[in-house]
Amino acid sequence: MGFILIILLGFELVTGNFALLPVGMQAGRVTGSQLLANLGWVFIGNFLGSLFYGFLLTVTLSYSGNEQTTIAPASVVNMFVIPTGMKLGAR
C-alpha cells in the first residue's frame, strides 16, 4: 500500500536520494559539514516532535478520564473509595 501511495502521489523514496548522495559529494556539491548539519536538524526535529506528541498523548488521555492512562493517584483513590462505598451499601 505504501509503494502504491508513493507512486500515485508522485513522491520519491528517500533511498533513491541517498543513492545519489555519493555522486553529489564527488562532484563537490555536498560537503561533510552540510551533511552533518542536516542530520543534526533531522535529529532535533524528531526529538522535539516526539516530546510534543508524547505530551499531547499524555494530556489527552489524562483528560479523557480513562483510569488506565491517568495519573496513578486517581487509581489509588478509587481502590479505596469504591470498596468503602460497597461496604457501606452502595450498588
Give the domain ranges of the chain.
Answer: 46-91
The contacts of residue 57 (CB under 8 Å, 6+ apart) are: none
Task: Give the pTM.
Answer: 0.41
10: pLDDT confidence band, cut at 50, 70 and 90? confident
Q: Could you give the CA distance from residue 23 to residue 86 in angstroms, rounded to a whole number? A: 74
Q: Could you give the CA distance from residue 33 to residue 45 in angstroms, rounded to a whole number? A: 18
The Cβ of residue 20 has, within 10 Å, a number of other Cβ atoms equal to 10
Tell me, rounded to whole angstroms, the distance of Cα 66 from its chain centroid.
Answer: 21
Output Rg (C-alpha) for the chain, integer angstroms: 26
Mean pLDDT of 26-38: 78
